[in-house]
Copies of this chain bind each other. A is one copy, B any other.
Amino acid sequence: MNIRSDIHGYPAGSCHLYRTGAVAQIQERLLSSGDARDLADLFQVMADPTRLRIISLLAETELCVCDIAAALEMTPSAVSHQLRVLRMAQLVKFRKEGRMAYYSLDDDHVLKLYTQSLDHLGHMPGGAIGPLGKS
């Protein structure tokens, strides 16, 4: 009886965790399916160039949709769609003033995550992601 043969029909192997019976131990620090999905959703929202550029604009001040669209040289429609995604993920909030909607970052956690990722990018050799592994 092991996980592989029970669940996936794999023949029992000889990986050391099975020999030592340490599977339960490493599963304790395993992110739950639910948390993994929630986290993935968060990263998914950040995983778009347009949304990241919007965040970079909102990092310092609130802006209305048409100005964001102008700065990004995109249609207000496309920007509005992306702002909706950011809004639903609670990464940005907005206030209505007349016919304008002024958007800003929801809290400083967004900014922290953004700057943290920029920091990580700075540590990537060449910035771009190359093939296979590290030298």
Contacts and interface: CB of A to CB of B under 8 A. Distances in A.
Interface in A1-49: 2-4, 7-8, 10, 13, 15-18, 23, 26-27, 29-44, 46-49
Contacts of A100: 15
Contacts of A80: none
A90 B17 contact: no
Interface string A38-63: 11111110111110110011011101
Given A8-B75, A71-B27, A131 B32 contact: yes
Interface residues of A, number: 85
Q: By DSSP majority rule, is chain A's interface helix, strand, loop, or mixed? A: helix
A72 B56 CA distance: 36
Nearest to A122: B109
A34 B109 contact: no
7 contacts: A31-B52, A35-B127, A37-B49, A38-B129, A88-B132, A90-B126, A113-B117
